[in-house]
Amino acid sequence: MKILSRLSTMLLASALLVTPAVAAELRIGLQDDADVLDPAQSRTFVGRIVYTAMCDKLVDVSPDLKIVPQLATEWAWSADGKELTMKLREGVKFHDESPFNAAAVVATIERNMTLPESRRKSELSSVEKVEATSDYEVKFTLKAPDVTLLAQLSDRAGMIVSPTAAAELGANFGTKPVCAGPFKFVERVQQDRIVLEKFEDYWDKDKVFIDKVTYLPIPDTTVRLANLRSGELDMIERLAATDATSVKQDSSLTYADVVNIGYMALFVNIANGPLADNPLGKDKRLRQAFSLAIDREALNQVVYEGTAVGGNQPFPPNSPWFNKDLPVPARDLEKAKALVKEAGFERVPVEMQIPNNPVAAQMMQIVQAMVAEAGFDVSLKTTEFATLLSEQTAGNYQLSRSDWSGRVDPDGNLHQFVTCKGGINDTKYCNPDVDALLNQARASTDEAVRKQKYDAAGKILDEDLPVIYLGHQSWIWAFKKDVTGFVPSPDGMIRLLGVKKG
């Protein structure tokens, strides 16, 4: 009997030695479903989250918002700023085992610029041509200096896809995407799940500790959190600010947040059609008074449970582009009242259009009450967000609350909004001095020079206030305690290198 018992023990130990370790699967709850999984065609935020695991880019963005190497190891600008040369990483494979090289980069960039369905054309509009100067070096030749190109290449425009798969599938590439990221595509069920698995030949595979990733779209924030708590999910993005305290108090969960690179703002109709003929649009003293009457810190605490930060610039205080010489103003009701009187008014009527979003509506009702104390009689006009943007573009507004998701390069948060011919300059503010500074910043490859130009433009804009910035929301994540190694990033992406489960 003892011999049999000993034999059983030996057999059991042997079985344990050959049993493979349980595969680590990470199930991530997304707020929305992604659109087509083709970097050339897609436009959704959650699609970018999936790409972060599936499609490496020429360059990436660090948590401190610096452009860092990924598929390109180094780069340099020509003296005139019209040529960008990139050295590429060697030994990289696409998920179909075809090699990554300069020819693949040229094929992808040209596809992004010419595919009829491509949404990347405007992002690469400054590119005249791209060519392979060796097997592992490419050169971008630009029509005019455009230092913002690097930021474009840190996103979908710089995600390099397999030329073999792209040629075979064409506009249907999204049905079976083939990239060079740490995880490869397995399957997709629309509105249900996107499944990826570890790519064994990934160039940086020693940092990949997850075997399988499943993304599940769950729009309802309450349901998403309930699924996390029940164990159906391991991680969720965009936790509601109202649930932040609850998650922090839950011993089974980890909470993480970071201020995002976008902003919440009020756009003032300065010169966009007949409705610009109103006191707020015509007198910058009134806009200054309106801004000073707002307690940004109170808005953060009351509406966003302390997860947002007050702001007065297109860049959040944690951004390297934030002008520290223009700190976020504290509420100054007496100065606001004085400015209203100086402008010749006792009471100032203002119509503000706001989106039909409960959180935004609550915030604007508080602002309405705050500025009333300084002499502003604000009436709120609630509308669906797409309609609000349309009315804003058409000039059918006096004051409009709108948010911007943010861009890594400062140009993307500013130039198109406040230059005389900016593509989304709905205020129709026009100041040649601001245009000159922002155009010079766009053309320079020297970050110190760019910072100086943005600071100078910001000083003018802080006085003229065509846009009254309110603050910056945070990206908020929640995940199980056994998920470790996740680093929050201001761009809202979920980067999985270094992330472990169990």
CATH number at residue 154: 3.90.76.10
Query: Can you give the pLDDT at residue 11?
Result: 42
Cβ atoms of 37 and 195 closer than 8 Å: no
Do 201 and 123 share a structural domain?
no
**Domain coverage including residue 392:** 263-472
Do 270 and 404 share a structural domain?
yes
CA distances from 410 to 79, 87, 148, 416 (A): 22, 25, 9, 11
Query: Can you give the pLDDT at residue 359?
Result: 85
Reported as a pLDDT band with limits 50, 70 and 90, residue 14 is very low
pLDDT (average), residues 165-169: 97
Cα 359 off chain centre by: 20
Do 301 and 393 share a structural domain?
yes
Among 139, 165, 191, which residue terminates a domain?
A: 165
pLDDT (average), residues 391-408: 93
Give alpha helix (H) positions in 125-230. 149-152, 163-169, 221-230
Query: Can you give the pLDDT at residue 148?
Result: 92
Cβ atoms of 416 and 425 closer than 8 Å: yes
Quick: pLDDT tens for 34-80.
Answer: 999 999 999 888 999 999 999 999 999 999 888 999 999 999 999 99
Do 78 and 35 share a structural domain?
no
Query: Can you give the pLDDT at residue 320?
Result: 87
d(CA 141, CA 436): 24
Does residue 16 belong to any structural domain of this protein? Answer: no
Do 291 and 230 share a structural domain?
no
Query: Can you give the pLDDT at residue 10?
Result: 44
Strand partners, 214: 27, 195
d(CA 217, CA 312): 34
d(CA 224, CA 209): 24
Cβ atoms of 217 and 27 closer than 8 Å: no
Does residue 280 belong to any structural domain of this protein? Answer: yes
pTM of the model: 0.82
Quick: pLDDT tens for 437-464.
Answer: 999 999 898 899 999 999 999 999 999 9
Do 385 and 300 share a structural domain?
yes
Do 405 and 276 share a structural domain?
yes
CB count within 10 Å of CB 119 equals 17
Q: Are strands 376-383 and 348-355 parallel, antiparallel or unpaired?
A: parallel
Does residue 15 belong to any structural domain of this protein? Answer: no
First to last CA, the chain: 39
Token pair recorded at residue 1: 């009997």
The number of domains in the chain is: 3
Q: Is the pLDDT of residue 310 over 80?
A: yes
d(CA 420, CA 24): 53
Do 408 and 434 share a structural domain?
yes
Among 165, 191, 225, which residue terminates a domain?
A: 165
Q: At what angle do helices 333-342 and 284-292 cross, to 10 degrees?
A: 160
Do 422 and 386 share a structural domain?
yes
Mention every residue, 6+ apart, whose C-beta is less than 8 A from residue 261: 65, 315, 316, 319, 405, 406, 407, 408, 413, 472, 490, 491
Query: Can you give the pLDDT at residue 21?
Result: 55
Does residue 129 belong to any structural domain of this protein? Answer: yes
Do 399 and 330 share a structural domain?
yes
Residue 225: CATH number of its domain: 3.40.190.10
Query: Can you give the pLDDT at residue 22?
Result: 65
Do 402 and 302 share a structural domain?
yes
Do 40 and 68 share a structural domain?
no
Q: Are strands 212-217 and 25-30 parallel, antiparallel or unpaired?
A: parallel
Q: Is the pLDDT of residue 171 over 60?
A: yes
Does residue 3 belong to any structural domain of this protein? Answer: no
Cβ atoms of 434 and 418 closer than 8 Å: yes
